Structure 1
Amino acid sequence: MKKVVLLIMSIFCFFDAFSQGSPDYGGGMKFNLNEEGSKYMRVIAWGQMWGQYNDNLPEDKKAIEFSTRRARILTYAQITPKFLVLTHFGLNSLNADNMSPTGKGESSQLFFHDFWVQYSLGKNHAIGSGLHYWNGISRLNSQGTLNLMTLDNNRQSWSTLGLSDQFARHQGVYVKGSFGKFQYRVSINESMTNSLDSRVLADNVNTTIYAGRKVLGSKESGMNYAGYFEYGFFDAESNFLPYRVGSYLGTKKVFNIGAGFFLHPKGSVYNDGTSNIGEDVSIFAVDAFYDAPIGDKKGAITAYATYQNNNYGKNYLFNAYGTGSFVYGHAGYMFHSEKLTKIQPYLSFASNSYDAVDDSRNVFGLGTNVYLNGHNSKLTLEYKNEKFGESKTGTITLQAMVYL
């Protein structure tokens, strides 16, 4: 009887976590290690290929570019529900400008996105350690890329990527679980020494730089803390894996509200001309996610909105990151069709304000998904317009995606 219960739990986890996929997909590539299926390994592979037109490139650059946006393989295994090990590796944004003749260049190399081990603390709670994606702040800071509704994630929502972590993954310890309709995830992590912000303080007096650990040392700036908490009013979402679903395509009725944070004491450093001063990094967000069939399952709506307050230190501004705040939202509607192919147009908008400058960064997106077989095979066409000060950029991207 115990083995039957374990098998049912295992099947439920697979179905719930991937219910937004193709109706023909089932459990995917799952390898049972015993007859009951309670011991198993699961393998997921996916690729996202882009063709993109950019209207704001230098004259020596071509306007059309082809790239492998993501090429990934993820595996996880359990020998009992008490233990889990997950491995996720791949590459990103491989194009003609960063490829190498023999495939040994930096951009051509596979690297670990995730690698963690997990131990059960009971039916609804677990603790884990490793290079993990159990992030705080908002839903989009833990967005999965298998089932995005928009072409890609809102870049500013991956708020610590390359600053304190490796590609939005921290090395640390997390605890996650649920109490009825309430879910939580909290983590304590070690901050990365080699920040993406490689500016040198000596050359940037009166400038804040995200390099606290590198400049001040691990004792003062070594650790960071994160958490995300949400309440679901309707169908429960799975928290078996950390990757948040972008659109359920009418297979669930979900309405969640959430709030999260990220704290990195003395994560940044400010040079006042005479000494280096540690600046605390603190980020807070609230968000809401709604996804449901409309009418008698004639279609489905997906909507998301968030407000986020970012404090990276005094007047911090670097690439996509800046002290200030932003609002972001997107909404899409999937039209009903008796055929397997379904159409889902969508809109997105972000407005980012920064303390360091008067201008806001405004990003508008308009796109359409064509689901050939759920999220397992889809085409996405998106126009995105971004304006920041005197800079204006328009891009048109066509994506082909398959995941198995």
Structure 2
Amino acid sequence: MLSANVIGQETKALNDTVIKENKEIIESVKNTEGPVFKHSLGDLNIKLDESGERYLKFGLNSQVWLRSTENNPGTLVNGVEQKYTYDAGLRRMRVTMQAQLSPAYQIYVQLGINNQSFIAGGGSGTGANGQGKKPAIFFMDAYNELAIIPQKDFKTKQENNFNIYLGAGLHGFNGISRMSNASTGKILMADLPIFNYPNIENSDQFARQLGVFVRGEYDKFNYRFAINKPFATNLQPNIGQTVDNNQSGKLSYSGYVMYNFFDKESGSTAFLPGFYLGTKKVINIGAGFYSSKDGALSQSEEGLFKSHDHSVLSADFFVDLPIGSKSKEMAINVYSVFYRYNFGPNYLRNLGIMNPGILDVNYTGTVAMEGVGNGRNLLGTGNLWFTQAGFLLPKFSETVKLQPFAAYTLKDLEGLNEMGSYFDVGANLFVLSQSAKISYQYSSRPLYDPADRKQFDRKGEHILMFQLSF
């Protein structure tokens, strides 16, 4: 048996070794370029060969909302009149898998749920299968992709200045704008403005359509183009109304091209991040389009129907740059985009994210054009201009960063007689990485009178979001 003295000596030696190793780890962290904070939580990777060219990569995205909503006039929530509604919800819950089966071939899938609240997003009725309960998990992305000309030559391993990839399936290579290809795990604000997805849940499935796409790079250009079969719509318009109706079954065509002035961004998936927190030097400009023949239907007078094309054009500008002293680790982020929508005469669409309300049929006041709950005029034929900006404050912690932000939207829509201004302000609190954050946002929206189609009121909404994404 070992003596107590020998055991004590071995324990001391082990402790000294652990302390030494910990010091080495700390020193290596200090000597890395920038703090640990700058790095994302990383990927869950499983290598399928020693080279690492064949692998499985998994990702998770969880966004939980706590919210206070100032409801539009005439709102009932669960059968009770409510001017304000307080709730919690699962805005996004996603699981992704990227399978690089060979250097030339990959499969990408994403599944999960969206927009589950106490009253919406699940079943219908009451009790165990009541409203909001047990939402069905569905695929948001499911596509195959083949490298025609790979980014890195299979044999020489040299970078190709021009590369092209061909894919098919349910995908989010939407064209139009950077924000139409947004990574929802890395958005500047608590949420996207949503009008960046012109067909959201009408002729697409949560911003995806079925079809084929090509994507790739040429020097500092990044491009993506797609030909899709839109999901079927068959709404019937009232007199003087234009609605989504693509019963003639035409295809859709979309594309987006951006130019990288400084650091090049990855295009290996459909999704582009909304920020880099100064870890890259990025200035990009881009332009895109979406088009589908006979995507809308109007009724100008009783029994007189006419089909109209869906058309969207856009141009945008994105900046994410470190500024000031390197030791302060500050950064600015600016994104601005202009959309020109043409979905037929006076086309107008309203939407409220996780809308808690229904109409009180006994309400005698003015019911807004936007409807009830948190409904807003989302998009329509006309012009939309959106700008957001964020500023990463000087370093005050090794593990925490603070980024105030603000956004402004101007909507000039044919179906309204007055332009509308929308405001958002808030801040992101990043913890340990870019992917773990707590966001607060206040949003102010105008409401329109259906009689004169002009503004008569404004309402607001507070969102507190907890996010973990990698």
Relative to the length of structure 2, the TM-score reads 0.76
Corresponding residue of 2:267: 239
Q: Find the aligned partners of 2:230 and 2:35 in 1 and give their Cα distance.
A: 34
Matched, 1:385 2:444: yes
Residues 84 and 401 of structure 1: CA distance in aligned 2, closer, same or farther (over 3 Å): same
Q: Find the aligned partners of 1:312 and 1:229 in 2 and give their Cα distance.
A: 23
Deviation readout 1:321-377 (Å, 9 max, x if unpaired): 310111110111001315120000011000111112212232101100000122321
Q: Find the aligned partners of 1:24 and 1:104 in 2 and give their Cα distance.
A: 42
Could you tell me which runs of 5 or more consecutive residues in structure 2 were left unpaired when the two chains were aligned.
Answer: 1-33, 151-162, 351-377, 448-454
CA-atom RMSD in angstroms? 2.1
Corresponding residue of 1:265: 293
Residues 22 and 117 of structure 1: CA distance in aligned 2, closer, same or farther (over 3 Å): farther
Q: For 1:115, which of 142, 167, 176 is the aligned residue? A: 142
- Aligned residue pairs: how many? 375
Note if contact 1:20-1:147 (Cα within 8 Å) is conserved in structure 2.
Answer: no
Post-superposition offset of 1:205 = 2.1
SS of residue paired to 2:175 = coil
Matched, 1:131 2:176: no
Q: For 2:313, which of 284, 292, 316 is the aligned residue? A: 284
Larger Rg: 2
Q: Find the aligned partners of 2:387 and 2:438 in 1 and give their Cα distance.
A: 22
Q: For 1:63, which of 76, 85, 102 is the aligned residue? A: 85
Residues 401 and 354 of structure 1: CA distance in aligned 2, closer, same or farther (over 3 Å): same
Q: Find the aligned partners of 2:37 and 2:171 in 1 and give their Cα distance.
A: 27
Note if contact 1:135-1:141 (Cα within 8 Å) is conserved in structure 2.
Answer: yes
Larger CA deviation: 103-112 vs 340-349: 103-112
Post-superposition offset of 1:23 = 4.7
Residues 369 and 27 of structure 1: CA distance in aligned 2, closer, same or farther (over 3 Å): closer
Q: What does 1:19-30 correspond to in 2, within 5 Å?
A: 23=38, 25=40, 27-30=42-45
Note if contact 1:21-1:375 (Cα within 8 Å) is conserved in structure 2.
Answer: no
Q: For 1:207, which of 226, 241, 246 is the aligned residue? A: 241
Deviation readout 1:18-67 (Å, 9 max, x if unpaired): x9995565642111112222211011012111111112253634521111
Larger CA deviation: 335-344 vs 95-104: 95-104
Note if contact 1:20-1:249 (Cα within 8 Å) is conserved in structure 2.
Answer: no
SS of residue paired to 2:195 = helix
Q: What does 1:342-361 correspond to in 2, within 5 Å?
A: 342-361=401-420
Note if contact 1:21-1:376 (Cα within 8 Å) is conserved in structure 2.
Answer: no
Q: Find the aligned partners of 1:166 and 1:82 in 2 and give their Cα distance.
A: 28
Q: Find the aligned partners of 1:180 and 1:21 in 2 and give their Cα distance.
A: 31
Deviation readout 1:278-314 (Å, 9 max, x if unpaired): 1111110100000010023330000011111100011
Q: Find the aligned partners of 1:21 and 1:190 in 2 and give their Cα distance.
A: 44
Q: For 2:68, which of 50, 53, 72 is the aligned residue? A: 53
Q: Find the aligned partners of 1:53 and 1:243 in 2 and give their Cα distance.
A: 30
Deviation readout 1:133-186 (Å, 9 max, x if unpaired): 001111111111111111111121111212321111010100111110011111
Could you tell me which runs of 5 or more consecutive residues in structure 1 were left unpaired when the two chains were aligned.
Answer: 1-18
Larger CA deviation: 102-111 vs 136-145: 102-111
Corresponding residue of 1:83: 105
Corresponding residue of 2:383: 325
Note if contact 2:210-2:228 (Cα within 8 Å) is conserved in structure 1.
Answer: yes
Corresponding residue of 1:96: 118
Relative to the length of structure 1, the TM-score reads 0.88
Q: What does 1:8-27 correspond to in 2, within 5 Å?
A: 23=38, 25=40, 27=42
Q: Percent identity over the alignment?
A: 29
Residues 166 and 228 of structure 1: CA distance in aligned 2, closer, same or farther (over 3 Å): same
Residues 26 and 108 of structure 1: CA distance in aligned 2, closer, same or farther (over 3 Å): closer
